[in-house]
Structure 1
Amino acid sequence: MSGFDLSAYLDRLGLTPVPVTAAGLRDLQRAQLRSLPFDSITPYLGGTPDLDLAAIMQKIVHGRRGGYCFELNALLGAALQALRFPLRRSLARVRKGASTGGPRSHLMLQVTLEDGLYLADAGYGGPGPLTPLRIDSDAPQQAPNGRYRFWDDPISGERVLDKWTGTAWFPLYGFDDAHVGDMDIAGANHICATWSAMPFAANLMLAGFDGDTRIGVFNRALTRESPEGLEKSEIADIATFAALLTGELGLRLSDEELDRLWDKLTAVP
């Protein structure tokens, strides 16, 4: 884990070292999701995120930027390893409500504790759980930001994560126990950042938490999803945009970067 600084990471999250327990895992994931936003700015502006752990630390922990799953869950995984949590990496197929998934493009973690197997994920840009869930249970599970369940897909052989919408179960992504190495992650990162069939180069996606309320941005569409309900609006101008990114989401961006993002968002096709 060359390049990872556990003390700096925990300071950024406002945590002290956590025990290797389900409660410790919960506190770590929840603190990261509330402190380190999801941001697809690098691929949106034409770059490919650097997955060197020192580069991720510099960008997100010290530079106060966000990242997407390959960066955010690399940090979470490094912290869990440093704290001696047993874990394995998995590459999931995102479904977004579909009956089948796309390519293996979402990095997530499976953590084995004395009381069972847990999903740990602080890098899913969609409406994932704020706290870890038991993978080895089929029963619905309540997180602070919603109700979730796992089920086995007999066609793909995947374990699928759903979220309850209030009227139906909505599949988020599916995964299996295939070995995931560094080159698998590097390839998936390249595909996500550069392939036109993936959403990242063409769409700005941001997400963060204010307490238990999830703040989500897809281009100029803004959603706030709380236990009380869902609010939707459109980002009207650059002042509102800048206040959202640098204020509520806590991203450190220059005026030039904000201008580049807004210019691309408002460009006429």
Structure 2
Amino acid sequence: MWSGDELDLDAYLARIGYQGERGPGGELRPDLSTLKAVQRAHTAAIPFESLDVLLGRPVALDLKSIEDKLVHGRRGGYCYEQNSLLAAALERIGFEVSGRGARNRTRGDAVLAVTHAVLVVTVEGEPWLCDTGFGFQGPREPVPLGRPGAEVRQGEWSYRVREDEDGVLTLCMLRGDDWRDLYAFSPQPYLPVDYVVLNHYSSTHPASSFAGRLIVHLPGDGVRRALVGRELTRLHPDGRAEPEIVGPDGLLGVLDREFGLRLPDRDAAELVRIHRAED
């Protein structure tokens, strides 16, 4: 389903710096410990970014293209790329992986289209929400789906899943003293081809939240970072948000220092030109 047999698993594990447990022969076991370690390593190593959309380039979702970009090219990507890569790796390890389509709920009462890709991974009969593609607010580890309302703490950050009357599940994040909705999704499975359709909208439609905007995120253990346009925000577990303006001359340094992201010279020059044109 997710082309896991085509993935260079060793290269992927090296890219994310995987340090989790292995079996006697060095193999990864499809258990909860491995699932947590893979997702945590992935979110620490591969930043969320949609720079190709800003640069006017197509976003390909075939596994080879994603692997070339995120693994060998050491770039980041947005949800369709991130979670397609994670799904391939988990499938290759031996996990049962299914896709879902989610509706962003971080913008108050605004009703947004289903444009976010997430995964449901079943381990020993229990479903877990796995997501490496929701940027700086996303979970670093799997969140249980079989225990709605149960709070899970991941370092200094807490999450829970709420089940609504219509069966829709909503992932919530604790910000200070308040639980805030991140996104909601139904039980309907999504296939890789469904993400191709959603990706086309997200990468080309003028109303897409990624169109014409520089977006780079990284969910850290403590401080989480988001660069949107010229504003770099550092989000703290207690709910504090520290904004900072990033000008064209400091852009490449911020991408490297804050997100571990280095672009080829041509892409870097074009990105700085676009950033400067916002003046």
Give me the TM-score of the superposition, normalised by structure 2: 0.88
Alignment map for 1:73-152 (pairs within 5 Å) = 73-99=83-109, 101-114=111-124, 116-137=126-147, 138-152=149-163
Instruction: State the partner residue of 1:159.
Output: 169
Distance 2:179 2:239 in 1: 16
**Cα RMSD (Å) of the superposition?**
2.1
Deviations 1:184-239 (A, max 9, x none): 11100000011122211121111124544322111111122244663423233334
SS of 1:105 mapped into structure 2: strand
Question: Which amino acid in the other structure matches residue 79 of structure 2?
Answer: C
Which residue does the alignment assign to 1:15? 18
* Contact 1:45/1:201 (<8 A) preserved: no
Secondary structure at 1:201 match in 2: coil
Contact 1:129 1:145 (C-alpha < 8 Å) held by counterparts? no
Alignment partner of 1:64: what SS? coil
Single out whichever of 194-203 and 209-218 deviates more from structure 2: 209-218
Query: Could you say which residue in structure 2 is the equivalent of 1:55?
Result: 65
Q: Report the AA paired with residue 10 of structure 1.
A: L
1:240 aligns with 2:250: yes
- Provide the rounded CA distance (Å) in 2 between the counterparts of 1:70 and 1:97: 21
Distance of 1:60 and 1:152 partners within structure 2: 34
Unaligned runs of 5+ in 1: none
CA-CA distance at 1:182 after TM superposition? 2.7
The answer to whether the Cα contact below 8 Å between 1:3 and 1:57 also exists between their aligned partners in 2 is no
State the alpha-carbon separation in 2 of the partners of residues 91 and 244 from structure 1. 32
> Which structure 1 residue ranges, 4+ long, deviate > 6 Å from structure 2?
none
SS at match of 1:72: helix
CA contact (8 A) 2:136 2:224 kept: no
How far apart, CA to CA, are the structure 1 residues paired with 2:235 and 2:142? 18
Alpha-carbon distance between aligned partners in 1 of 2:270 and 2:202, rounded to the nearest angstrom: 21
Following superposition, the deviation at residue 127 of structure 1 comes to 0.3
Moved more, 144-153 or 180-189: 144-153
The share of aligned pairs that are identical, in percent, is 34
After TM superposition, the structure 1 stretch with the greater mean CA deviation from structure 2, 202-211 or 33-42, is 202-211
Mapped partners of 1:259, 1:146: distance in 2: 36
- Secondary structure at 1:200 match in 2: coil
Cα pair distance change 1:89/1:241, threshold 3 Å = same
CA shift in 2, pair 1:180/1:125, >3 Å: same
**2:156 and 2:235 mapped to 1: Cα distance?**
8
Q: Does 1:4 align with 2:14?
A: no
Number of residue equivalences: 268
TM-score by length of 1: 0.91
1:161 Cα offset (Å)? 0.7
Q: Distance in 1 between matches of 2:278 and 2:47?
A: 28
